[in-house]
Structure 1
Amino acid sequence: MFFSLISTIVLGIAVAGSMMLVNHLAGGRLPRWLAPAAAGIAMLVYTIWTDYDWSARIARGLPGGLEVIETYETSNLLQPWTLVKPRINRMVALDRPSIEANANAPRYRKASLYLFARYQPPRELRQIYDCETGRRIDLLPSETVDPTEIPDTAWEKLVDDPIAREVCGG
């Protein structure tokens, strides 16, 4: 977030300076308000662009084996352009090489997911999926469990979950 702020300020100064140079070359015939107005518009457009493009930049930079499976959009009254076209504020990437079936019960699969959100560091999440009944459970970072010993009440029932479809291979 800090670098976005610095980039926006530097862009505003550069555009204002460019407009002042153009005004000087034009013999001072341009209105004085043109430089700050152009700087403000450039800063607003840059801010909007970075808000909409961050998820594509993250997705392009993911290492091999990681694939974005699901994105979440948001709208905000304080950003009225998002009411016209919502922007992605979170996404989930699946680490395909991490998917492994349980040796004792192949209906269970364990996978690592990476959660990305705007202005937050990525987080890793490990989950076990019961591919036959459409359920999942989250694991703690260093936790190893036998899914056949997990009580039914601990599982979260899934309905049409795209991540479960990808992990379970269908």
Structure 2
Amino acid sequence: MIWHLIAALFAGLGTAGVGLLLRSLSGKRLPRWIIPVCGGLGILAFQIHHEYSWFHYKQQQLPESATVVSTKEERMFWRPWTYLFPLTTAFSVIDRDSMANMQANEEQVVEFILYRFEKEYIDVVQHQAYLMNCTAGEMLPLMGEGHRPRLSELRRVDASDPLFQAVCPDA
């Protein structure tokens, strides 16, 4: 967080310097307010770039075996540019190396962990173990140390869902 603040400060100082240079080159015909305006635009441009590059930066940090199965894009009224280009604020990932394939009653069952990354003032990572019945297209969370299935939260997963396709590629 402190490095982000320092980088934004230097982006503002750099672009304020560009404004000062432009004012000097114009023989001081440009108004003095051009310097702080350039500084503010530099800070705003840095912040926008930082927010939009977060998803790609986090994707590059994932191992080769990780697959992004969903993303959450938001539009915010205090960031009007997000109405043109929605901002990715969260995404879910499965790690193919941690998946365990099993056979139960002649049905293909896969145990996997679903990771969810959320962009906040600090990044939030949540993980939850799940059991996917690839034959029936059903998924339920596994709770506790013993990985006991929580049957009350059973839900159906469509075969066209990217999560289903990543967990059950042979189904």
Fold shared, TM-score > 0.5 on shorter chain: yes
Q: Which amino acid aligns with 1:84?
A: L
Q: 1:115 to 1:157 in 2, by over 3 A?
A: same
Residue aligning to 2:100: 100
Distance in 1 of aligned mates of 2:145 and 2:46: 41
Residue 72 of structure 1 contacts residue 88 of structure 1 at CA under 8 Å; is this kept in 2?
yes
The total of aligned residue pairs comes to: 166
Distance in 2 of aligned mates of 1:164 and 1:103: 17
Residue aligning to 1:116: 117
Q: Which has the larger displacement, 123-132 or 157-166?
A: 157-166
Distance in 1 of aligned mates of 2:168 and 2:84: 36
Residue 18 of structure 2 contacts residue 38 of structure 2 at CA under 8 Å; is this kept in 1?
no
SS of residue paired to 2:98:
strand
Residue 109 of structure 1 contacts residue 130 of structure 1 at CA under 8 Å; is this kept in 2?
yes
Unmatched 5+ residue regions in structure 2? none
Distance in 1 of aligned mates of 2:39 and 2:141: 47
Identity %: 26
Q: 1:25 to 1:85 in 2, by over 3 A?
A: closer
Unmatched 5+ residue regions in structure 1? none
Q: Report how far residue 103 of structure 1 moved.
A: 4.7
The TM-score, its normalising length taken from structure 2, stands at 0.82
User: 1:17-96, aligned counterparts within 5 Å?
Assistant: 17-24=17-24, 28-96=28-96
Distance in 1 of aligned mates of 2:69 and 2:75: 21
Residue 125 of structure 1 contacts residue 141 of structure 1 at CA under 8 Å; is this kept in 2?
no
The TM-score, its normalising length taken from structure 1, stands at 0.83
Q: Report how far residue 6 of structure 1 moved.
A: 3.1
Q: Report how far residue 4 of structure 1 moved.
A: 2.9
How big is the alpha-carbon RMSD for the aligned residues of Structure 1 and Structure 2?
Answer: 2.4
Q: Report how far residue 30 of structure 1 moved.
A: 3.4
Q: Which amino acid aligns with 1:127?
A: Y
